């Protein structure tokens, strides 16, 4: 209805302009710039909702860029963090809670025999790269076009957004990710197209690859499942050519299931990195995997970090993992699936050509594609301008979903929230279909 499409964001705009006096660009991560009509300022969260500076109550499908798998305000997680905070903030020593945290992750994630905690996905990606180079004595890391493993110079290559894929699909031309990035820092990488086993096999056969690093389901661009046999084939090819396999489960971890994509698809890599949902938005990341590889950290491979295993974040991790029961996945997945199916049906009814694919707790909507995407080049063909108009139309109706088409679902997105969302999807679809 007209009324439902009327949310305004003037106070956010005013405060973003004010922020820019002290905060570069008004935001603290470049990835927060992408929204139409502009970045928002939030006062607080409440389950599936965010309340912004204009007083709008918005259903949130950003979910902390995938982190808040239990919603914005899970009471047991907040209380655990509060109790831990009262005991002290940072000890630069060990605490009983970090044993419990490590045990829970190692019991749940198939590849995790041992681990080290850090604070962000970007830094544990660096730790994994250092481990595989130490273990193999080789240098090259195979990275795939469109996959994202953090913002550091030695890995921010051929990574969307802003990537204009060039060169042949099975041997892309490496694309630098930022002004100011050291161009020589890409020398340790070899960029390939994902989901193409023949290209990977051919590259590995050169014998200089330390590891293959991938999102086991490609979720930074699209929500693309590996082709049948691809993960198994990649692991076997790594074995044949003396390379290790790293899964970046920063998005897929605790979202494609409690044991991540590796459990869902039944392929166990040598190393795994996790972050985001591991502690429902508290700053925890982990590099985990084979004990002999992790033990290199006690044998000359350096890994540091003042905030590693931060006590409040550890308490939040334990409380989060305690809430991530099989029933959580069953219930949330049913809601996520209903939402995904509902969006697909409504877009079809309103005459909008779209692909709606992915997993119940993380899926992707791409306008203008005739078939589901298999890799970055496919998903890059989607009509981003039309989708951006749709995302804006949704936001005006109180639903916030990523401009790049990703939807993250939490346990707070219950039947009533899904109903309201689908109503907004109907209105937004009608608005953009009429344009
Ligand atoms: N890997 C993947 C797959 C990610 O999605 C991200 C963050 N979007 C990262 C690594 C980097 O994590 P962080 O932002 O915590 O540094």
Q: What is the distance in A from the centroid of ligand 1 to the CA of 122?
A: 6
Residue 378 pLDDT exceeds 80: yes
End position of a domain, from candidates 296, 323, 350: 323
Same domain flag for 313 and 330: no
Q: Whose CA is nearest to atom 4 of ligand 1?
A: 250
Query: From atom 1 of ligand 1, which residue's Cα is the shortest distance away?
Result: 149
- pLDDT of the residue at 36: 82
pLDDT per residue as tens digits for the range 348-365: 999 999 999 999 999 999
Q: Are residues 234 and 314 in the same domain?
A: yes
Mutation choice for ligand 1 from 117, 129, 149, CB with most ligand atoms inside 8 A:
149
Question: What is the 63 CA–ligand 1 centroid distance (Å)?
Answer: 14
Q: Is the pLDDT confidence value at 435 over 80?
A: no
Residues 49 and 103 in one domain: no
Provide the pLDDT for residue 2: 45
Residue 329 catalytic? Answer: no
Q: Which atom of ligand 1 is nearest to the CA of 119?
A: 15
Please choose, from the candidates 260, 178, 164, the residue with its C-alpha nearest in 3D space to the C-alpha of residue 219: 260
Mean pLDDT taken over the chain: 96
pLDDT for residue 1: 45
Which tens digit of pLDDT belongs to each residue from 244-294?
A: 999 999 999 999 999 999 999 999 999 999 999 999 999 999 999 999 999
Domain that holds residue 429: 3-69+326-433
pLDDT tens, 57-80? 999 999 999 999 999 999 999 999
159: left (phi over 0), alpha (psi -120 to 50) or beta: beta
φ, ψ for residue 202 (rounded to 5)?
A: -65, -40
Residue with tokens 């590259």: 203
Answer yes or no: do 370 and 402 share one domain: yes
**CA–CA separation, 215 vs 199, rounded Å?**
17
Q: Is the pLDDT score of 163 beyond 90?
A: no
CATH code for position 378: 3.90.1150.10
The CA distances from residue 305 to 107, 285, 309, 354, in Å, are 24, 12, 9, 44
3-state secondary structure 46-81: ECCEEEECCCCEEEECCHHHHCCCCCCCCHHHHHHH
Compute, in angstroms, the gap from residue 290 CA to the centroid of ligand 1: 22
CB count, 10 Å around CB of 187?
12
Indicate whether 60 and 100 sit together in one domain. no
CB under 6 Å to ligand 1: residues? 65, 120-122, 125, 148-150, 215, 220, 248, 250-251, 275
Residue nearest to atom 14 of ligand 1 (CA): 121
Which atom, in ligand 1's list, is nearest to the CA of 249?
3
In terms of domains, do 85 and 176 share one? yes
The model's pLDDT over 195-240, given as tens digits with 9 standing for 90+, comes to 999 999 999 999 999 999 999 999 999 999 999 999 999 999 999 9
Q: What CATH number has the domain bearing residue 193?
A: 3.40.640.10
Number of domains the chain is built from: 2
Packing angle of the helix pair 326-349, 415-433 (nearest 10 deg): 20
Ligand 1 center from residue 273 Cα (angstroms): 10
Tell me which H or E stretch contains 408: strand 406-408
Query: pLDDT at residue 370 above 60?
Result: yes
Ligand 1 pocket test: pick from 30, 150, 305 the residue with the most ligand atoms within 8 Å of its Cβ. 150
Handedness of CA 411, 413, 418, 422 (dihedral sign): negative
pLDDT of residue 4: 61
330 and 317 within one domain: no
- Do 154 and 276 share a domain, yes or no? yes
Q: How far is the CA of 286 from the centre of ligand 1 (A)?
A: 12
| Structure ipTM over 0.90, yes or no | yes
Over residues 42-59, mean pLDDT: 98
Q: Are residues 96 and 239 in the same domain?
A: yes
| Ligand 1 atom closest to residue 220's alpha carbon, by position in its atom list | 5
Specify whether 276 is catalytic. Answer: yes
Instruction: Exactly one of 248, 329, 378, 396 is catalytic; name it.
Output: 248
Biggest alpha carbon–alpha carbon distance for the chain: 65
Q: Are residues 178 and 80 in the same domain?
A: yes
Q: Is 99 a catalytic residue?
A: no
Q: Which pLDDT does position 294 carry in this prediction?
A: 98
Torsions phi, psi of 46, nearest 5?
A: -155, 95
**CA 151–ligand 1 middle distance (angstroms):** 8
Same domain, 224 and 362: no
Claim to verify: residue 139 and residue 79 sit in the same structural domain:
yes
Atom number in ligand 1 closest to CA 252: 3
Listed residues 323, 356, 378: the one ending a domain: 323
Q: Which atom of ligand 1 is nearest to the CA of 285?
A: 15
Catalytic entry in 61, 148, 230, 329? 148
């Amino acid at each position: 209805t007209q009324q439902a499409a009327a949310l305004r964001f003037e106070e956010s705009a005013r405060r973003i302009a004010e922020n820019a006096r002290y905060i570069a660009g008004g935001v603290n991560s470049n990835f927060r710039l992408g929204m139409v009509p502009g970045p928002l300022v939030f006062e607080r969260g409440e389950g599936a909702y965010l309340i912004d500076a204009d007083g709008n109550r918005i259903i949130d499908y950003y979910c902390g860029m995938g982190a808040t798998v239990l919603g914005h305000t899970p009471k047991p997680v907040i209380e655990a963090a509060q109790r831990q905070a009262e005991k002290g903030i940072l000890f630069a020593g060990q605490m009983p809670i970090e044993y419990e945290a490590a045990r829970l992750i190692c019991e749940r994630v198939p590849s995790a025999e041992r681990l080290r905690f850090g604070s962000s996905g970007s830094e544990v990606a660096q730790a994994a790269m250092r481990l595989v180079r130490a273990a193999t004595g080789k240098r090259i890391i195979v990275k795939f076009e469109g996959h994202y493993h953090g913002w550091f110079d030695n890995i921010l290559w051929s990574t969307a957004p802003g990537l204009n894929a060039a060169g042949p699909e099975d041997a892309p031309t490496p694309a630098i990710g930022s002004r100011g990035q050291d161009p020589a820092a890409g020398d340790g990488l070899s960029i390939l197209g994902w989901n193409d086993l023949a290209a990977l096999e051919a590259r590995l056969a050169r014998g200089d690859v330390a590891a293959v690093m991938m999102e086991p389901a490609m979720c930074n661009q699209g929500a693309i499942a590996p082709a049948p046999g691809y993960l198994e084939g990649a692991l076997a090819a790594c074995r044949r050519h003396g390379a290790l396999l790293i899964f970046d489960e920063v998005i897929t971890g605790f979202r494609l299931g409690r044991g991540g994509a590796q459990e869902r698809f039944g392929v166990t890599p040598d190393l795994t990195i996790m972050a985001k949902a591991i502690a429902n938005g508290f700053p925890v990341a982990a590099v985990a995997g084979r004990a002999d590889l992790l033990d290199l950290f006690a044998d000359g491979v350096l890994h540091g970090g003042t905030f590693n295993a931060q006590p409040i974040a550890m308490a939040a991790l334990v409380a989060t993992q305690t809430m991530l029961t099989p029933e959580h996945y069953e219930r949330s997945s049913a809601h996520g699936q209903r939402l995904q199916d509902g969006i697909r049906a409504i877009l079809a009814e309103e005459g909008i050509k779209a692909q709606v694919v992915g997993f119940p707790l993380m899926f992707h909507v791409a306008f203008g594609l005739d078939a589901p995407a298999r890799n970055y080049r496919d998903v890059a063909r989607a009509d981003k301008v039309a989708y951006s108009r749709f995302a804006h139309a949704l936001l005006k109706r109180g639903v916030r979903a990523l401009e790049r088409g990703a939807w993250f679902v939490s346990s707070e997105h219950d039947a009533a929230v899904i109903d309201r969302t689908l109503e907004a999807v109907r209105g937004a679809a009608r608005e953009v279909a009429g344009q």
